[in-house]
């Protein structure tokens, strides 16, 4: 079974803090993704990576950065957290582009 | 990716088959039908996908009409744990498109 894990299920941070969200997959997948999910807005892609040290912007990259130093790990960084970044953050991975994606349990981030 | 239409909600008795319909009348020849579900406060879960033949795995069956304009996801013996929002997505497999776009989906409520 594919396993995608995220470092925290719930996180509360203050405005202006730097926030790290970690994601690890154990299936040697090439592609990894970070989405956020908000009521009424569905899933929105923040960044994705198709190889180690490679990354591409998704639809809403502003205010975020990513790091992929190892194939199994993809980190999302909020450089200076703001209240409008309060959301559910979902990490996913897939074998190849367009293949089915396997999701982690999500991190519900609250920025106060 | 082609647009899909699903009912907003459905009920199903525990132990009975749940049949979830999806219309995708503008589907192209190289587009697959994917199904995901999302249990409340959890990450989405991949269920099954198919091109034109019916597919079955340990979770569900996917029936695609001959003209490919609609499909049905079948959960053969629904349990309370199958209560979730089910998303039907049409997309090119192994294509350039990476991100998943979830519509509003069908909220399946399995009743005891």
**What's the residue count for chain B?**
112
Burial class of residue B108, CB neighbours in 10 A (0-12, 13-18, 19+): buried
Binary contact (B100, A97; C-beta < 8 A): no
Q: Count interface pairs A-B at CB distance under 8 A.
A: 62
Q: Write b or e for each residue in A59-88: b if 16 or more Cβ atoms lie within 10 A of its Cβ, otherwise e.
A: eeeeebebbbeeebebbbebeebeeebbbb
| B43 → closest Cβ in A42, A59, A106 | A106
A106 contact B CB<8A: yes
Tens-level pLDDT at each residue, chain A (112 residues): 669 999 999 999 999 999 999 999 999 999 999 999 998 888 899 999 998 988 999 999 999 999 999 999 999 999 999 999 999 999 999 988 778 899 999 999 999 9
A39 contact B CB<8A: no
Return left, alpha or beta for A88; rule: phi > 0 is left, psi -120 to 50 is alpha, else beta: beta
A45 contact B CB<8A: yes
B41 contact A CB<8A: yes
């Amino acid at each position: 079974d594919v396993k995608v894990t995220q470092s925290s299920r719930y996180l509360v941070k203050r405005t202006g803090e730097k926030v790290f969200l970690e994601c690890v997959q154990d299936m040697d997948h090439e592609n990894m993704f970070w989405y956020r999910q908000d009521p009424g807005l569905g899933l929105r892609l923040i960044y994705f990576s198709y190889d180690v040290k490679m990354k591409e912007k998704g639809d809403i990259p502003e205010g975020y950065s990513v790091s992929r130093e190892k194939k199994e790990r993809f980190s999302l960084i909020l450089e200076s957290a703001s209240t409008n970044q309060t959301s559910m953050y979902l990490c996913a991975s897939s074998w190849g582009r367009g293949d089915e994606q396997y999701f982690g349990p999500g991190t519900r981030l609250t920025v106060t | 990716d082609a647009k899909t239409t699903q009912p907003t909600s459905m009920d199903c008795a525990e132990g009975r088959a749940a049949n979830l319909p999806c219309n995708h009348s503008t589907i192209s020849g190289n587009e697959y039908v994917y199904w995901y579900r999302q249990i409340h406060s959890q990450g989405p879960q991949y269920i099954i996908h198919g091109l034109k033949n019916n597919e079955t795995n340990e979770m569900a069956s996917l029936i695609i009409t001959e003209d490919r304009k609609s499909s049905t996801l079948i959960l053969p013996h629904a349990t309370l744990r199958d209560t979730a929002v089910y998303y039907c997505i049409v997309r090119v497999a192994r294509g350039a498109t990476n991100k998943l776009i979830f519509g509003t989906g069908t909220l399946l409520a399995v009743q005891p």
